[in-house]
Amino acid sequence: MVERYEIRLSGAGGQGLVLAGVILSEAAAIFDDFYAVQTQSYGPEARGGASKAEVVIGTEPISYPKATQPDLLLALNQQSYDKYAGDTKKNGLVIIEADSVKPPASTDFRLVAIPIIDLARKKIGREVVVNMISLGIIQELTQIVNYESLEKAVLRRVPKGTEDINTRALKLGREAAKEFKEE
């Protein structure tokens, strides 16, 4: 674990990225033993339908709460990728929604493309779990939090009656990322 790890989750409003950011930071700080700060910045782009949530995880109290050079970017649509990919740390990780973002020819960062929306539709039957699949992917690829901590944090936050669908989606994301790693 490095001293400070910056994560930016980006996509469209309604994709549940704020909830994903809250869950990820609570997994890190309540169930694992880190400090975490979770931030949403809203401006005119929010009124235009964009959504962005940031999480900074650290081993010490976090002085500056914004992600300025993310170690990890999740981009669920092209607009988000175009806006944020350039900020990514060199040798950082960018996870793109495979059917929504056109991958560039070459990058300074590691690029992983997973058909998150298609997985949500076909394997869970609900597009609304795109955020949970994304969290499972992030956990598997970064190991920034423990899987068990993440699952506890999910159960703490999702509405009653949706526990099963959400934890299944989390697991699906982990499995999808594992397959990717093995490729």
Three-class SS state of 149? helix
- Name which of residues 64 to 83 contact its own copies (CB under 8 A): 65-66
Does 165 participate in binding its own copies (rule CB under 8 A)?
Answer: no
What is the per-residue burial (b if ≥16 Cβ within 10 Å, else e) of 117-140? bebbeeebeeeebbbbbbbbbbbb
Task: Dig out the tokens for 156 from the structure.
Answer: 């703490």
Does 18 participate in binding its own copies (rule CB under 8 A)?
Answer: yes
Give pairs for 15-20: CB < 8 Å, separation 24+.
Answer: 15/51, 15/76, 15/130, 15/131, 16/128, 16/130, 16/131, 16/132, 17/51, 17/52, 17/53, 17/74, 17/76, 17/131, 18/51, 18/53, 19/131, 19/157, 19/158, 20/53, 20/131, 20/132, 20/134, 20/135
Q: Which phi and psi (to 5°) does residue 56 adopt?
A: -120, 125
Does 159 participate in binding its own copies (rule CB under 8 A)?
Answer: yes
Name which of 110, 78, 76 is nearest 94 in CA terms: 110
- 67 versus 119: smaller Cβ distance to its own copies: 67
CB of 39 to its own copies, least distance (A): 5
Size of the site for its own copies (CB under 8 A): 25
With CB under 8 A as the contact rule, which of the stretches 42-50, 98-106, 134-142, 167-175 interacts with its own copies?
A: 42-50
- 79 versus 174: smaller Cβ distance to its own copies: 79
Does 1 participate in binding its own copies (rule CB under 8 A)?
Answer: no
- Name which of residues 81 to 110 contact its own copies (CB under 8 A): none
With CB under 8 A as the contact rule, which of the stretches 21-29, 79-87, 107-115, 172-180 interacts with its own copies?
A: 21-29
Look at the chain and count its residues.
183
With CB under 8 A as the contact rule, which of the stretches 25-33, 105-113, 134-142, 171-179 interacts with its own copies?
A: 25-33
Near its own copies by CB under 8 A: residue from 36, 72, 85, 172? 36
Residues at the site binding its own copies, with contacts judged by CB under 8 A: 13, 18, 22, 25-26, 28-30, 35-43, 46-47, 61-62, 65-66, 159-160
